[in-house]
Structure 1
Amino acid sequence: MSTPAKQGLIALLLLGWAVASLGILAWFEQQHFGVFDPAGQLQQLDAGHRLPAGNVLIAVIDPDCYCARAARAHLQQLKRQQPSLQLQELTPAQWRAQGPALPATPLVLWYQQQQLRYAGPLAQGPICSSDNDLLLPLIQGRQRLAGVWLNSETVACRCPSQAG
């Protein structure tokens, strides 16, 4: 038989657990899921920068980012679907040596016919899942772009850059 004091303590513990769980989820969402580039840093990319001919995909992935494992799996699936795609992976430090500050990782830059065509996240949604792929329709030509797509507004799994 439980006394009212024990029932109150159990209810208080359950309430504390629920509040702590919600706080952890909110922290996780803010740290790893949200608008990819709320400050519009992608607009600073040099769209005129030219690379070798062919389809080239540069992936900037922070190995410490929660989203890195899913992004790498997504990239490998993309590479299997598009074997002619040249894939280069860089860390944020390697990118900083040659490019402007980035808003977040994982970030991909897709160059087609020596011109930047897309910059932004691989996929939309809370994980970097190929189910919500943003690139494959572009690479396969199922979706056409009028110009360069600097995708800042997509809500995606991302780790905001600490030092640009």
Structure 2
Amino acid sequence: MPRSSRTLWIVLLTIACAVALFMAYRWFEARYLRPFDERAAVFSGAELRLPDELAGPGPIRLVHFWDPACPCNVGNQQHLAELIAGYATKGVAFYAVQRPGSKGSLPADLSGLQVLDALPGSEAIPASPAVAIWDQQGQLAYFGPYSEGLTCNSSNSFIEPILEALADGRRVDASNTLAVGCFCDWQAAD
């Protein structure tokens, strides 16, 4: 086979591989990746309630709202695992509520979470990941995101100061918040 013919076949094969890789990437992106960007969300806890079996006086209760398909969970779940490790021994009870209709399970490092089917008023949640914290008297102290921005960790989190204040017996009332961050719509259809 002449050298120019072999070169032509190599070029055509390279182009075919590039097109195949591009098409595979587009298929993966359309099938598995949800679009997300930094956006604003208004969290109003006016209707949010604990289930009857958890309501009333008791430990500080933290409820994690999550959607298995949300790409914003990645950093958030590592931070949540650190919260469980640091505060479960201090008497904070941890729960999780998964977006209705979604499929998936929590990572193994979040095994300290008790899974709830839903909370009264959770149909009004605007976006996730989100968190609700009830104080020792059963009053909603905080409802909103873990932090502001695209990533979440202990250095930019709202949660540690709230848990510390509640553990010290101080009152917190931050059940209505506006935040800009990485969120996925809670009510969005699959």
TM-score, length-normalised on structure 2?
Answer: 0.59
Q: Which amino acid aligns with 1:86?
A: A
Contact 2:162 2:172 in 1 (8 A): no
Name the structure 1 match of 2:180.
155
The residue type equivalent to 2:140 in the other structure is: L
**Is contact 1:48–1:115 with CA below 8 Å preserved after alignment?**
no
What per-residue deviation string (whole Å, max 9, x for no partner) do you get for residues 110-129 of structure 1? 01111110000011111122
TM-aligned CA deviation for residue 160 of structure 1: 2.0
Aligned residue for 2:123, secondary structure, equals coil
For structure 2, the 5+ residue unaligned runs are 1-34, 101-116
* Alpha-carbon distance in structure 1 between the residues aligned to 2:87 and 2:47: 25
Give, in angstroms, the shift of residue 144 of structure 1: 9.0
* Aligned with residue 86 of structure 1, among 75, 80, 93: 93
Does the Cα contact within 8 Å between 2:150 and 2:181 map onto a contact in 1?
A: yes
More deviation in 148-157 or 71-80? 148-157
Match of 2:133 in 1: 110
Aligned-pair CA distance for 1:31: 2.6
Corresponding position: 1:138 with 2:140? no
1:58–1:153: structure 2 CA closer, same or farther, 3 Å change rule? Answer: same
2:124 paired residue number: 101
SS of the aligned residue for 2:147 comes to: coil
**Aligned-partner SS, 1:82:** helix
TM-score (norm 1): 0.67
Long gaps (5+) in structure 1: 1-29
- Partner of residue 71, structure 2: 66
Q: Number of paired residues? A: 133
Pick closer, same or farther for the CA change 1:161–1:32 going to 2, 3 Å.
farther
Matched-pair identity in %: 23
Q: 1:116 to 1:66 in 2, by over 3 A?
A: same
Distance 1:144 1:122, change over 3 A: farther
Q: Secondary structure at the match of 1:149?
A: coil
- Contact kept? 1:47, 1:148, Cα under 8 Å: no
Q: How does 1:22-37 map onto structure 2 within 5 Å?
A: 31-37=36-42
**Within 5 Å, which residues of 2 pair with 1:113-132?**
113=136, 114-132=138-156
8 Å Cα contact 1:56/1:111 also seen in 2: yes
Structure 2 residue identity aligned to 1:120: G
Cα offset for 1:152?
2.8
Match of 2:7 in 1: none
CA shift in 2, pair 1:68/1:116, >3 Å: same
SS of equivalent to 1:53: coil
Question: Could you tell me how far 1:99 is from its partner in structure 2?
Answer: 3.0
